[in-house]
Structure 1
Amino acid sequence: MTQRTGTGRPRAVRMSVELPLWRALTGYRILTLGYALALFCVNYHEYAHPLGAALYMGVLTLWMLLTWNKVSAPERCTRSFLIADLSIALGGVLLSAVVDSAQRVDGGAATLPSIWTGGAVLGLAIKGGWRWAAVGSTLVAAANLVERGHPARDTVHNVLLVWVSSIAIGYIVEVARASERTLARALQIEAATRERERLARDIHDSVLQVLAMVQRRGAALGGEAAELGRLAGEQEIALRTLVAGGLVPPRGTPRQLAEDAELVRSTGTPPRLPEGPCDLGALLAPHAGAAVSYAGPGTPVLLEAAAAAELAAAVGAALDNVREHAGNGARAWILLEDEPDAVIVTVRDDGPGIAEGRLAAAEREGRMGVALSIRGRLRDLGGSAELLSVPGQGTEVELRVPRGSEAGK
């Protein structure tokens, strides 16, 4: 999972699906030791060699006092500890046949460690998975059969119960660990991808500075360079309006747009952005011109300012692709739709379309306009960008932002 830091940047938070199991195992070992001691005290006088049984129970109690917190965390529970823990459990099971009477053993009396033995097997299951659990439970089963001397029904029942449950828990732990690793890796990839996309957009926006420089140098040189500078200035105004002043509805005339762009260019600071809902139609309408037609509802289409800016920027990127790849004579149409559960913007052109595999090839070559400027923005908004292109029949890009998405709140 991820959390927000004080700076607003996401950070990864380590999750451990097995930590509750270790804590539960600690409690299990303590409680079952108490049960085994109580059972021993109640049946003390029925043992054939009660002092020998008491000596083992003392050793078991001392072992627990020294190692009670060994299974509270995976780093403390080492392989050598698990082997020693299982050895003490097996020793207690085998010793029961020596210190207890034959009548009690044949009658199915509990062994000295009793159900405490299950804690040693469960430790193997949580630490090493189902394979370690299978080995540990098999050894415990063999010790119980040796202690009883013959495979009685209750002994077989208890042995199978420990064997099946420990292996099942070990398998579940392995699956949980694999899922945890997969989730952690996915979160790392997502965080790295979003950061790369953010940097790529910042680099893409730096093109504004180049366009401004071309405009100034072209005007100074005159001639054909002046025409090139004029075109660069128009592109800069359109792009800067989206990036820097896109949340402020344009005032409409080219001269006023140029004054706004010059103000942003000279100060380096975008205009103060409004808070609250923003009319998306006001941001898309300035794209209309001789080669671009715009159609939208007669009423404002309100989105939160950040979501409206990102969606308008994605539309601008789609129109940039039309101008760059569809040819000088291509026309484009923008359709804004205000649905109850989503805002949909469709950008369509009558260009030659996109050849099959061209987008994938562009991404491999590092041209990330569609992947980052369009799909990346919509993904950040919780929306989607669908691209449909038929060679010779143009391209259609459908941008959908659900209302109530986190980015739009």
Structure 2
Amino acid sequence: MSIETPFWRAIAVYRFCSLGYAAILVVEADSYGNPGPAWTVLVLMTAWTVFATYAYSRERLRGWPLLTADLLVTAACLLSSIWVQGFDGPRGTMPITATWVAAPVVAWAVYAGRRAGAAAAAVIAVLDVWLRGVGVLDLNTVPVNGAVLLFLAGVVIGHVARLAKQAEARMQRAVEIEAAGRERERLARGIHDSVLQVLALVQRRGAEIGGEAAELGRLAGEQEAVLRELVRTAPRPPAAESADLNDHLRRHASATVTVATPATPVELPARTVEELSAAVGNALDNVRRHCPEGTRAWILVEAEDGAVTVTVRDDGPGIPEGRLEEAERLGRLGVSQSIRGRVAALGGRVTIVSSPDGTEIEMVIVAP
């Protein structure tokens, strides 16, 4: 059940209670100029109360069309006091609607916050003050207590409703993080008992055997470290937040990898930063796999003209002509999916230039 549901139920109770109060006023009113129409207005108020209670209880119907209709019907019933009580009847007295007019103000406040509540209160309050003065907005002679209370109700209830919605969102996020944490712990136990132990064994035995097995052992060790970091990392906040690309790419720096970034932060959406960092990591993995030991690599970040360019360059032997096409044809889609695919999903492009002096991968995306 949404946090809004109790608010709408409370508004429904208020509608019926205030409708009962208006009915008592009609029954006991002997000064109405046209008592017959008073019952007509009361029937209309009753019908709208029943319909509004039903409509607001259905989330699919709850929206601006219903809110606008609610305000207009309430305003019409309020103005009918001139017809019921006579042109001079409403002057200085309570209209036929009594406190029933506050219902749409509270509904607007709960649905859209304090500003909407204040706007609805302003409409009803102006009509109420005008009605009590019968066409004269004289604040010195017309009682304005009701208008002030309407405005305060719209602002305060709207503010409380907004705080309640924010608290509900934070609680939901906390529940999701807790669930993700439990799932991560469960996966970590399973991975530790199987995959990580196998990778650790491959690394140790590869180092003992030497030769090509040593290279396999080194790669197994790197993947073990990456996997441990993956299961250890806590859930991150929603990707709508921004992050500094420079900070993420500096994590790739090592004895053989040099990172050059601008002096000022390069702020991008967090998801974009994560995808670019993953693409750079994949490019560096290719250097470690396919280039001689000790091959150096450089990461360069440039931000200008509304675009961000990340370049990964190495001084290895380069990619043999046709190797990328052959790998893609054989189903080995490392470069195609992990680099080109990631950047393309961000709306960017990738250019790969290779020669016997090294390979350069340029990733360009449009800065938001």
When normalised by structure 2's length, the TM-score is: 0.51
CA distance 1:133–1:140, shift in 2 (3 Å): same
The answer to whether the aligner puts 1:132 opposite 2:132 as a matched pair is: no
Tell me which of 33, 36, 46 is aligned to 1:48. 33
The alpha-carbon deviation at position 364 of structure 1 amounts to 9.3
How many angstroms apart in 1 are the aligned matches of 2:140 and 2:73? 24
Unaligned runs of 5+ in 2: 210-220, 236-368
| Corresponding residue for residue 368 of structure 1 | 229
Name the structure 2 match of 1:88.
73
1:22 aligns with 2:12: no
Match of 1:166 among 128, 135, 154: 154
Give the whole-Å Cα distance in 2 for the aligned partners of 1:142 and 1:29. Answer: 21
- Given candidates 103, 109, 119, the residue that maps to 2:103 is 119
Residues 147 and 81 (structure 1 numbering): CA distance in 2 closer, same or farther, change over 3 Å?
same
**Residue of structure 2 equivalent to 1:291:** none
Aligned-pair CA distance for 1:74: 4.0
Paired residue secondary structure (1:201): helix
Aligned counterparts of 2:64 and 2:230: Cα–Cα separation in 1: 53
Contact 2:82 2:89 in 1 (8 A): no
| Pairing 1:199–2:187 present | yes
Asked if structure 2 preserves the Cα contact closer than 8 Å seen for 1:125 and 1:133, the reply is: yes
Q: CA deviation at 1:152?
A: 5.4
- Whether contact under 8 Å (1:30, 1:68) holds in the other structure is no
> Contact 1:133–1:166 (CA<8 Å) still a contact in 2?
yes
CA distance in 2, matches of 1:132, 1:64: 21
The structure 2 residue matched to 1:187, chosen from 155, 166, 175, is: 175
Q: 1:33 aligns with which of 13, 19, 32?
A: 19
Alignment RMSD: 3.5
Contact 2:132 2:142 in 1 (8 A): no
Post-superposition Cα deviations, 1:309-359, rounded to whole Å, max 9, x if no partner, equal xxxxxxxxxxxxxxx9xxxxxxxxxxxxxxxxxxxxxxxxxxxxxxxxxxx
Aligned to 2:128: 144
Identity of aligned residues (%): 31
Q: Which residue of 1 aligns with 2:47?
A: 62
Instruction: Give the aligned partner of residue 79 of structure 1.
Output: 64
How far apart in 2 are the matches of 1:97 and 1:159? 18
- Name 1:176's counterpart in structure 2: 164
Change in Cα spacing, 1:27 to 1:365, as seen in structure 2 (3 Å) is: same
Cα distance, 1:181 vs. partner?
1.4
Q: Which residue of 2 aligns with 1:109?
A: 93
Q: What's the offset of the Cα at 1:187? A: 2.0
Distance 1:84 1:47, change over 3 A: same
Following superposition, the deviation at residue 99 of structure 1 comes to: 2.7
What amino acid sits opposite 1:368 in the alignment? E
The alpha carbon displacement at 1:365 in A equals 4.6
Which amino acid in the other structure matches residue 126 of structure 2?
A: A
Output the amino acid matched with 2:127.
Answer: A
SS at match of 1:155: coil
Q: Which residue of 2 aligns with 1:5?
A: none
CA change 1:124–1:196 in 2 (3 A) is same
| SS class of match (2:55) | coil
1:23 Cα shift? 0.9
How far off is 1:65 after superposition?
3.4
Once the two structures are TM-superposed, the CA of residue 67 in structure 1 deviates from its matched residue by 3.5
> Can you list the C-alpha shifts for 1:62-85, whole angstroms capped at 9, x where unaligned?
222334322335444332222112
In the aligned structure 2, how far is the partner of 1:146 from the partner of 1:189?
54
Change (3 A) 1:153 1:200: farther
Distance of 1:369 and 1:104 partners within structure 2: 76
Q: Tell me which residue corresponds to 1:281.
A: none
How far the C-alpha of 1:37 sits from its partner, in A, is: 1.2
Q: Using structure 1 for the length normalisation, give the TM-score.
A: 0.46
**Cα distance in structure 1, aligned partners of 2:31 and 2:230:** 84
Please report how far the alpha carbon of residue 125 of structure 1 lies from its aligned counterpart in structure 2 after TM superposition. Answer: 1.0
